[in-house]
Amino acid sequence: MTTTTPIHPGAATAPAATGGTAARVRKKLNTRTATVVSIIIAVIWTIPTFGVFVSSFRPENEIKTSGWWTFFTDPQVTLANYQDVLFGRTASSGQLASYFVNSLVITVPSVLFPLAFAALAAYALAWINFRGRDWIYVGIFALQIVPLQMALVPLLSFFSQGVSLGGVQLLPAWDLAGEQRFIQVWFAHTCFALPLGIFLLHNFVSQLPRDLMEAARVDGATHPKIFRTIVLPLITPALATFGIFQFLWVWNDLLVALIFAGGNTTEPLTVRLAELAGTRGNEWQRLTSGAFVSMVVPLVVFLSLQRYFVRGLLSGSVKG
């Protein structure tokens, strides 16, 4: 005797409906109309940047007397703008070469420190059992919604006065001057980056196969060895994704640099460009060339790591 098991109609149609919805959305996004709209948006978004790029190679008189689009009817090209902002003899000309080095000195450690700390914390929160682990993760997740402006005054107080409790000095004040101010900027950027970094990497690390981790433990591997030989190679896309986010954020940052990197010897490019703009922004030839000087490194970093960037976003977007 053959029996049939009744199937609830919704159980059979729900996956199909979900797949059908995804297929319809994918089909609409792959239409010719969607492609044309995407191209139009990309062109509109690119035109201002292209205009600044063209203007950066035009002579000063041409920039101040005509629009950048006239370049195509009367092309005049010069490298004097870049020479002026990079190696000008006067302070008003820019002298961005030294500030470019300052930006590199600030950005590279401010990316490497959060990457290292966030990767270690993400592994610990995902694969090491200890009391209060879940609450710590919830607290780190909640810190993402706290504006960094709220931490600027406490950090300044920490650097200038240290930490005291009931008249007892728990941590001394940081006596930093000159190039030592870089330490303040590294510390600030690392603190601000850790909540997002730990959250992003934790979602990625927690999806690693449990069987792989258990097999490594059976073979006698310790947590440091598992992290070094198994976890790090597998989370490379996530590390690249967070690294790009952090690099672009630190390189383009102005607020933290103004507060913690004050002084001509430690100021990054963004601070110097803001000074060049002044109150009226009359030196357009310097601003356009200076903007592209500051734009070169982020473009190179993003274009060279974009494949990891896309893989990291897609891999960390779905959990389970």
28-46: pLDDT as tens digits: 667 788 888 888 998 898 8
17-26, 178-187, 215-224, range with greatest mean pLDDT:
215-224
pLDDT of residue 52: 85
Kindly list the distances between the CA atom of residue 34 and the CA atoms of 18, 29, 231, in Å, as whole numbers in the listed order: 22, 6, 39
pLDDT of residue 246: 92
Taking the C-alpha atoms of residue 61 and residue 50, their distance in angstroms, rounded to an integer, is 19
pLDDT of residue 172: 63
Pairing of strands 168-171, 163-165: antiparallel
Taking the C-alpha atoms of residue 62 and residue 45, their distance in angstroms, rounded to an integer, is 24
Kindly list the distances between the CA atom of residue 227 and the CA atoms of 81, 127, 131, 165, 211, in Å, as whole numbers in the listed order: 49, 10, 21, 38, 15
pLDDT category, 110, cuts 50, 70, 90? very high
Residue with tokens 């440091």: 224
Report which of 286, 280, 260, 43 is spatially closest to residue 272, judged by C-alpha positions.
286
The more confident residue out of 45 and 2 is 45
44-86: pLDDT as tens digits: 988 888 888 888 888 888 888 888 888 888 888 888 888 878 7
Report the predicted TM-score, pTM, of the whole model to 2 decimal places: 0.75
Report which of 51, 55, 57, 64 is spatially closest to residue 282, judged by C-alpha positions.
64
* Contact indicator for 260, 189 with CB cutoff of 8 Å: no
Residue with tokens 């002298």: 95
pLDDT category, 318, cuts 50, 70, 90? very low
* Whether residue 319 has pLDDT greater than 50: no
Report which of 224, 226, 207, 206 is spatially closest to residue 216, judged by C-alpha positions.
226
Kindly list the distances between the CA atom of residue 215 and the CA atoms of 210, 211, 220, 222, 226, in Å, as whole numbers in the listed order: 9, 6, 9, 12, 10
pLDDT of residue 198: 92
* Whether residue 17 has pLDDT greater than 50: no
CATH number of the 93-162+172-317 domain:
1.10.3720.10
pLDDT category, 169, cuts 50, 70, 90? low
124-165: pLDDT as tens digits: 998 888 888 889 989 988 888 888 888 888 887 777 776 665
Taking the C-alpha atoms of residue 121 and residue 119, their distance in angstroms, rounded to an integer, is 6
pLDDT of residue 311: 60
Report which of 296, 272, 294, 287 is spatially closest to residue 84, judged by C-alpha positions.
287
pLDDT of residue 90: 60
pLDDT category, 281, cuts 50, 70, 90? low
Taking the C-alpha atoms of residue 188 and residue 106, their distance in angstroms, rounded to an integer, is 11
Write out the DSSP string of 158-183. Answer: HHHH-EEETTEEEEPPP---GGGHHH
